[in-house]
Structure 1
Amino acid sequence: MTYKELQLALAVFGLEQRASLSQIKSRHRELVKRHHPDLGAPDDSEEMRKVNAAYRVLLEYVSDYRFSFAEEEFYEQNPDERLRRQFFEGPFWGNDKENG
């Protein structure tokens, strides 16, 4: 797979540069429902081929992805937790761990 193929797959799915696996799967279901002839769509097998090819590219990419469990990546992926740590765990907010 090339980067260009990955970008084309994202374009077919209408996804941004960051997407979760559940977003990819959900979007695939939506597109299949929209373009599948058995579900009332016009018989456009070319569009279904594009959707399924894009799905294979995206799944291949995420299946080879190495997840980071580093603390900084955790807070990047969970901004609410980053804010909680930044603002609510310090002594300024009355949550001083040293004084219990």
Structure 2
Amino acid sequence: MRAVVHEAERRVAVREVEDAVVEEETDALVRITSSALCGTDLHMYDGRTGAGPGMVLGHERGVWSRRPAARPPRSAPVTASSSPPTCTAAPARTARGA
């Protein structure tokens, strides 16, 4: 799959990375239908977080489930949010027309 990968301070690249694999019975494979970068990713890009080379940036915005996990995880339910607290830490920067 393709991903935006952190290479060095203020340098990222779109690279082919290995597909995710099911490792635990609570894992599920999903197809990403859209993704985005947020303020936290910009902190990593600017070198303010200690993110190392090879870290994949971005957040999944829409997913399609290929198959459900064998059993639900034991943790609390998770609700996706378009602006979690850590993502609002940096000023918003959006592409024109986005």
- Higher helix content, 1 or 2: 1
- Relative contact order: is structure 1 or structure 2 higher (C-alpha 8 Å, sep ≥ 6)? 2
What TM-score range do you get, normalising by the shorter chain?
under 0.3
- Higher strand content, 1 or 2: 2
Please report the TM-score for the alignment, with normalisation by the length of structure 1. 0.24
